[in-house]
Amino acid sequence: MADLTTGTLGDTLRRNGVSRRGFLKFCTATASMMALPPSMVPVLAAALDNAQRPSVIWLSFQECTGCTESLTRSHTPTLESLIFDHISLDYHHTLQVASGHAAEAAREAAMQASAGKYLLVVDGSIPLGNPGFSTIAGVSNLQILEETAAGAAAVIAMGSCAAFGGLPKADPNPTGAVAVRDIVTDKPVINVSGCPPIPVVITGVLAHYLTFGTLPELDQYSRPKAFYGTSIHDRCYRRPFYDKGLFANTFDDEGAKKGWCLYKLGCKGPMTYNACATVKWNEGTSWPVESGHGCLGCSQPDFWDAGGFYNALSIPVGDISRTASYAVAAGVALGAAAAGINRKTKTEANRQHSTVTVDDLEKTS
Amino acid sequence: MNESMDFLLWTRGTAFDVAVAIFVVGILIRLFEIISLGRAANLAAPKGSEFLPGMKTILTRTLPEGGTFKRQPLTILAGYLFHIGLLVSLLLFIPHIELFRETFGFGWPGLPNPIVDAAAVLGIVGLLAALWNRLTNPVMKLLSDKEDYLVWVLTFLPLLTGYLAYHRMINPYPLAMGLHILSIELLLVLFPFTKLMHTFTLFLARWYNGAMSGRRGVES
């Protein structure tokens, strides 16, 4: 179980051999990434240096553990991972040593010890269709979330499933999955969307929370603006090719080899807000578009239902060719019927030697 | 909570299917109706051929006529400006071509975005000039009815929302994109039942005018 008195974040970092210079560099980078003014760097440094270990309870519902993989798999220890190590992660299915009753006891103990102060991290969506669809120690996801959220200072919905429902909520949503924000309405909920989300976003949010005791500025999807403020498209290094009209038409044509825009291959960059294009993945190695694949739009709500991953963004969700064919068939049939009626009217008019009147000519349409 | 995204998905999904269905069915009924009506048999002996004069009139009525240009330069200028701007934006913007490719199974080369962008601006300016002409020119004002203004709005909105979406002047982007698609759906739904039908009937009407004159042996 967590020991809340193991010192400050500064102590942890120094114990792990992080120099003062390295620490300040991290603070400067974090401040600039979170769009804080340079004058905030010393404040950030002082606050982080003295930050106590916050208690964190991590609940996993209908998820794939990809979010945890993303956040914990750094091959060399970075300051980000050290900050992550510093938090007192009192309950996490995948990472905790305890199991069974001991695990649930750890959660309850943390909830009591830091009532009103602990951070609750949730990954995965919550099934409302039937409580039995997903349970932990025999308790439904809904109940465990409501219980644990009650005493939390804030809730971080980690990944697109927790933030927006994600894959479980994809049409036809068999489990009746909903997002954390649909359940927790009386606490600050911060959405860190992505499938999975970028690790540095969570440490950025933690750093902000440790420094100011508040959550960073959020966008209309409750995501930190500093990371989700601009679209992939606007920060994409392939953007000049889009503007010039130079596109890859297949994944191995000349355009693809020259690194041209992937719009035609289904890139959802224009509608997707995330920091991939600037922060990148695997410690700044690369990101999907750089490795030659269009953006899937994984940090946007309902991205699974937004049409084929390999269809250009301008292509409708449904089968437009089929709709158009049916409509043509219906139109031809109805048109032929209309023509038949007209023909009959005309024959009748001819037979009765009807004349065209002024009223007929006045008809519009 | 995901309003703008849900809205975009609805405009790209159900709404688009419905709009396209109404558009296609409506256009076909109208065309069938117009063509099947035909004309009363002309019993007089023809004084000339119909086909070539008809084709010639399609061309001559497409080019600006000197007399009209002198009397109403703005009508001609705004008309051309808007139609060229609209057609370039509609048919030569790569995302639009991708939609046509998906629908018809074939596409064509597009233009670089800055050129399409400029064409869209010309189209918007042309439409605004046409509206100004309609409102200030006494003859135009007298000739205009509610439908003319409705059709103007229906045509203006897709150009405007497209421009705003491309330049990301409405946030969030899914909302901008959704509004653009919705404005086109509105246009598609009302298209067959308004003057917008001229897109499909103008060459037919021009040919018919020329053919009738040709038959009578007069110039059209």
Q: Residues A106, A147: contact at Cβ < 8 Å?
A: no
Q: Is A228 on the interface with B (CB under 8 A)?
A: no
Structure-token match 């240096």, residue found? A49
Query: Which residue's entry shows tokens 């009738």?
Result: B212
Q: What is the ipTM of this complex?
A: 0.79
- The pLDDT score that the predictor gives to residue A2 is 38
Q: Where on the phi/psi map is residue B49: left (φ > 0), alpha (ψ -120 to 50), or beta?
A: beta
With beta carbons less than 8 A apart as the criterion, state whether A161 and A168 touch: yes
**How many Å is the maximal CA-CA distance in chain A?**
107
Task: Say if residue A74's pLDDT is above 60.
Answer: no
Q: Which pLDDT score is estimated for B147?
A: 94
| pLDDT tens per residue, range A194-248 | 999 987 787 778 778 877 777 888 988 899 988 898 899 999 999 999 988 899 9
Percent of chain B's residues with pLDDT above 90:
60
Three-state DSSP at A220 gives coil
In tens, the pLDDT along A303-317 reads: 998 888 999 888 888
> Tokens 């309003």 label which residue?
B3
- Report phi then psi at A156, rounded to 5: -105, 115
pLDDT digits (tens, 9 = 90+) for B102-140: 888 899 999 999 999 999 999 999 999 999 999 999 988
Reported as a pLDDT band with limits 50, 70 and 90, residue B2 is low
Phi and psi torsions of A51, nearest 5°: -65, 135
Cβ atoms of A179 and A163 closer than 8 Å: yes
Residues of chain B in contact with residue A314, where contact means CB-CB under 8 angstroms, are: 95-96, 98-99
Lowest mean pLDDT among A142-156, B3-17, B188-202: B3-17
Residue B140 near residue B112, CB atoms below 8 Å: no
> Taking CB atoms and an 8 Å limit, are B26 and A339 in contact across chains?
no
**Residue A80 pLDDT greater than 80, yes or no:** no
DSSP string, A98-147: --HHHHHHHHHHHHHHTTTT-EEEEESBEE-S-GGGSEETTEEHHHHHHH
Place of tokens 């979406």: B165
Beta bridge pairs of residue A135: A140
- B202: Cβ–Cβ under 8 A, 6 or more apart, which residues? none
pLDDT tens profile A26-68: 788 777 777 778 888 888 888 878 777 778 899 999 999 998 8
> What percent of chain A shows pLDDT beyond 90?
38
CB-nearest partner of B33 from A245, A321, A335: A335
pLDDT per position as a tens digit, B41-78:
788 888 888 889 999 999 988 888 888 888 888 889 99
Interatomic CA distance for residues B52 and B83, integer angstroms: 26
Q: Which helix (H) or strand (E) holds A60?
A: strand A55-60
Cα–Cα distance measured from residue A293 to residue A198, given in angstroms and rounded to the nearest whole number: 17
Two structure tokens written together for A251: 């994944």
Q: Is A73 left (phi over 0), alpha (psi -120 to 50) or beta?
A: beta
Interface of A with B in 327-356 (CB under 8 A): 327-328, 330-332, 334-336, 338-339, 342-343, 346
Mean pLDDT of chain B: 90
Give the ranges where A229-291 is alpha helix by DSSP (H): 232-235, 239-244, 254-257, 276-279
Distance CA A116, CA A149 (A): 9
β-pair type (A119-123, A154-158): parallel
Backbone angle region of A316, left / alpha / beta, with phi > 0 → left and psi within -120 to 50 → alpha: beta
Instruction: Give dist(CA A26, CA A80) in Å, integer.
Output: 9
**Which of A273, A315, A346 to probe the B interface (max B CBs under 10 A)?**
A315
B189 touches chain A (CB under 8 A): no
What number does CATH give the domain B3-27+67-216?
1.20.950.20
Distance of CA A209 to the CA centre of its chain: 20
Rounded CA-CA distance A265/B183 in Å is: 26
Residues forming a β-bridge with A231: A273
pLDDT for A79 equals: 60
Q: Residues near B121 by Cβ (< 8 Å), separated by ≥ 6?
A: B85, B163
Q: Are A21 and A72 in contact (CB under 8 A)?
A: no
> Which of B214, B202, B217, B213 has the alpha carbon at shortest distance from B59?
B202
Mean pLDDT of A163-168: 94
Phi, psi angle pair for A191, to nearest 5°: -95, 125
What are the structure tokens assigned to A331, written together?
A: 């139109």
Residue A3 pLDDT level (bands cut at 50, 70, 90): very low
Q: Please answer whether residues A309 and A296 qualify as being in contact, where contact means their C-beta atoms are separated by less than 8 angstroms.
A: yes
Q: Which residue in chain B has the smallest CA separation from A267? A: B95
Cβ distance of B2 and A221 shorter than 8 Å? yes
CA–CA gap between residue A224 and residue A217 (Å, rounded)? 6
Counting one residue from chain A and one from chain B, the pairs whose CB atoms sit within 8 A come to 143
Model confidence band, residue B80 (pLDDT cutoffs 50, 70, 90): very high
Here the contacts of A80-83 (C-beta below 8 Å, separation 24 or greater) are A80/A199, A80/A200, A80/A203, A81/A199, A82/A12, A82/A13, A82/A16, A82/A18, A83/A9, A83/A48, A83/A203, A83/A206, A83/A207
